[in-house]
Amino acid sequence: MPGQWPEELLSREGIVDAALRVVERDGADKLTLRKVAAELDTGPVSLYVYVRNVTVLHALLADRLLADLDLGWDGPSRGGSASTG
């Protein structure tokens, strides 16, 4: 049976989504490119075009999780000036 994720549908974002599912199911300490590839029904070699290694995958996951945080702070952006009144 062919994979449900044809190679042309693979993307860095899709790989990170799959990695998050693996982490939720198995835990962060069990995350491997092989498990992410299995989640996407493809081989691990297919992922190396988008993610060089598991360390890069960890960094991408951290970026995604930090981007999704809502800190509820509407202060000046980085590099902006804040009034010290």
> Do residues 14 and 36 make contact, with C-beta atoms less than 8 angstroms apart?
no
Q: What is the pLDDT of residues 6-37, one digit of tens each?
A: 555 799 999 999 999 999 999 999 999 999 99
Residue 78 domain flag: no
Q: Is the pLDDT of residue 84 over 70?
A: no
Residue 44 domain flag: yes
User: What pLDDT is attached to residue 1?
Assistant: 42
Residue 36 domain flag: yes
Work out how many domains the chain is built from and give that number. Answer: 1
Kindly compute the dihedral angle of the four CA atoms of residues 19, 21, 28, 47, in this order, to the nearest 10 degrees.
-20
Residue 51 domain flag: yes
Q: What is the pLDDT of residues 69-81, one digit of tens each?
A: 877 776 666 665 5
Residue 82 domain flag: no
Q: Write the CATH number for 56.
A: 1.10.10.60
- Computed on alpha carbons and rounded to an integer, the radius of gyration of the chain in Å comes to 17
Q: Is the pLDDT of residue 3 over 60?
A: no
Residue 57 domain flag: yes
Domain, as residue range, for 43: 7-68
